[in-house]
Amino acid sequence: MDYLQNLVPESLLPLSSTPLLLATGTLGVALIGIIMGLFGRKNHMPVEGRTVLITGASEGMGRSVAIQLARKGAHIILVSRNVGRLEEALADVQAAAKSPATQRFRWISADVSEPDYASAVIAEAIAWNGGAAPDIVWCVAGMSTPMLWEEEGSMAAARRNMDVNYFGAAEMSRTILKEWLSPENSTSPKSEPKHIIFTASVLTFFAIAGYSPYTPSKWALRGLADTLESEMHLYPDNPVKVHVVYPATITSPGFERENATKPGIAFELEKGESVETPDTVAERSIAGLEAGDHFVTVTILGRLMRCGVMGGSTRNNWIIDTVIGWFVPIIYFFVLMDINGKIAKYAKTHGHPNTYPKKAV
């Protein structure tokens, strides 16, 4: 307590405990307030009357996102390859509109794995949107070819996963950011921000056997998102928020497809983990974005996994994320023991992977 004596004049010492108490009390209440999210109740991503472009919007999570944002009053542009499925999805999105008389919807067919595909998509979107770029761009398009790294074809699969999952989102983000960040489109630091949203996977936080062609493409997205988050500080008059959504298993058409190549060990390891419908994942993702989260998770396990590997990434809540992060290494000690035990047991019962029966793919 010596330092107190130096700071506070002798005559005031008897009183010094009052301001100290007050200060501690105020700090305590403020901390609880932050923890309870009392200061974060505002909607950080209003969509009513704004234009949202969604890639991968014809099926699965992307389609659910489009429907739910239409329900909240957004104008929607759906992007994917198959025109028949886009038309069907557009009808569902239209039927969900909050104000059918004023909301506008359209689809644009494009393959996100093609170099420079985004220029034509964004040009078309701007022309349709009366000369203004979409306000929110959500890259959902993705694919997964789970395989063992040693399997025939895993390298081709890895390149394909990278082209769709990483470059598909990278090209789109670059094209839309060029629009949003141009000096002609400067507004003010206080104006409603634009949003670029990437869709990764919880495998970005914790990698498991059997997903080698896929997981790195989602890790790459995180690297890009954090870099962009940092770069956005260079453009205070063009506010843009960068987000990454990290779903766990989604019961989508894509999930059916990936199960065709999925190695037995991957089935084994994800057995018992949470599985959500596209609607639930969309709903929770949108809730996270509305709460202003940089990294959005949709399950409790996903949140734990996120807090375990924050590194230099922007926190959603510095106090909660930090405290949870302290405990995750302890949990991982047991998780890894369990998972590595399961893998060892699988190896024992199934023999060398070269002897596995060939998959009919």
72 binds, among ligand VSD, ligand NDP, none (CB under 5 to 8 A by kind): none
Contacts to ligand NDP from residues 154-213, by CB under 6 A: 164-165, 199, 201
The set of residues, in sequence order, having a beta carbon less than 8 Å from that of 353 and lying 6+ positions away, is 148, 150, 151
From the centroid of its chain, how far is CA 288? 9
Stretch that binds ligand NDP, among 18-26, 37-45, 49-57, 310-318 (CB under 6 A): 49-57
In the DSSP assignment, the letter for residue 99 is S
**Amino acid at the residue 326:** W
Q: What are phi and psi of 50, to 5 degrees?
A: -100, 160
Residues contacting ligand VSD: total by CB under 6 A: 22
Rounded Cα gap, residues 116 and 209, in angstroms: 33
Query: Is residue 3 annotated as part of the catalytic site, yes or no?
Result: no
Rounded to 5°, the CA angle 204-207-211 comes to 100
Which of 238, 265 has the CB closer to ligand NDP? 265
Q: Which is nearer to ligand VSD, 72 or 306 (CB)?
A: 306
Among 70, 96, 97, 112, binds ligand NDP (CB under 6 A): 112
- Quick one: what does residue 286 bind among ligand NDP, ligand VSD, none, with the CB cut-off 5 to 8 Å set by partner type? none
Report the 10 Å Cβ neighbour count for 166.
Answer: 22
CB closer to ligand NDP out of 249 and 313: 249
CA 278 – CA 251 distance, rounded (Å): 6
Q: Considering only 9-17, 91-99, 146-154, 242-250, which stretch makes contact with ligand NDP by CB under 6 A?
A: 242-250
User: Using the rule CB under 6 A, which residue among 248, 281, 282, 296 binds ligand VSD?
Assistant: 248
Is 214 marked active-site?
yes
| Gyration radius of the chain over CA positions | 24
Q: Does 301 bind ligand VSD (CB under 6 A)?
A: yes
CA-wise closest residue to 178 among 222, 137, 219: 137
Nearest CB to ligand VSD, comparing residues 146 and 263? 146
Contact (Cβ atoms closer than 8 angstroms) between residue 31 and residue 55: no
Q: What is the closest distance, in whole angstroms, from the C-beta atom of residue 83 to ligand NDP in the complex?
A: 8
Task: Give the residue, chosen from 44, 81, 106, 315, that forms a contact with ligand NDP under the rule CB under 6 A.
Answer: 81
Question: Distance (Å, rounded) from C-alpha 214 to C-alpha 158?
Answer: 6
- Rounded least distance, CB 265 to ligand NDP, Å: 17
Sign of CA dihedral 301, 57, 295, 317: negative
Single out the residue of 68, 144, 204, 215 in contact with ligand NDP (rule: CB under 6 A).
144
Q: Rounded to an integer, what distance in angstroms lies between the CA atom of residue 122 and that of residue 108?
A: 10
Strand 295-297's sheet: what is its strand order? 105-109, 75-80, 51-55, 136-139, 194-199, 240-246, 295-297
Could you say which of ligand VSD, ligand NDP, none residue 138 binds, taking C-beta under 5 to 8 angstroms by partner kind?
none
Give least dist CB 256 to ligand NDP, A.
8
Q: What's the half-sphere exposure (Cβ side, CA atoms, 13 Å) at 164?
A: 20
Question: What amino acid positions are annotated as catalytic residues?
Answer: 214, 218
Q: Using CB under 6 A, list all residues that contact ligand VSD.
A: 144, 146, 201-203, 206, 208, 214, 248-249, 258, 269-270, 273, 301, 304-305, 308, 328, 331-332, 335
* Binding site residues, ligand NDP, CB under 6 A: 55-62, 80-82, 85, 111-113, 140-144, 164-165, 199, 201, 247, 249-250, 252-255, 278
